[in-house]
Amino acid sequence: MAERDRIGEQLSTMLQQAAASAEGQTEVTLRNPQDEATKALREAIEVQRKAAEAVTRAAEASITSARAAEKAAVAMERKAKYMLWSAIVASVSAVASAVSAYYSYWSAVHPR
């Protein structure tokens, strides 16, 4: 009977150890998917952060481009004004030249 109790105790001890070992393995198994999910979330966050940085850089480039376009528009406006004034001065010069030619002709045709 004593041997039977000893075998029973050994069997009980082995079952408890097996249960504890299985419990530990279950926890490890449960922790691994959580660790993997956490790792995947961290990677996703990193990708989103990099995407946000890229969007920020693109926005900065767009702002710089808009400022350059604004400066180009101002320069084009200034150039258009200079061309207008140049055309006005050329017209006045042409009229003055025509008047001068008329008086030259008049003087040549009608001497005093």
* Per-residue model confidence as pLDDT tens digits over 38-60: 889 999 999 999 999 999 999 99
The confidence score (pLDDT) of residue 34 equals 78
Tokens in use for 88?
A: 């006005």
The confidence score (pLDDT) of residue 31 equals 56
The confidence score (pLDDT) of residue 21 equals 63
CA 109 to chain centre: 77
Mean residue pLDDT of the chain comes to 84
d(CA 57, CA 94): 55
How confident is residue 68, by pLDDT bands cut at 50, 70 and 90? very high
d(CA 29, CA 33): 7
pTM tops 0.75, yes or no: no
pLDDT tens by residue, 83-94: 999 999 999 999
User: ∠ CA 57-74-84 to the nearest 5 degrees?
Assistant: 160
How confident is the model over 6-30, as a mean pLDDT? 63
What residues have CB less than 8 Å from 110, skipping those under 6 apart?
A: none
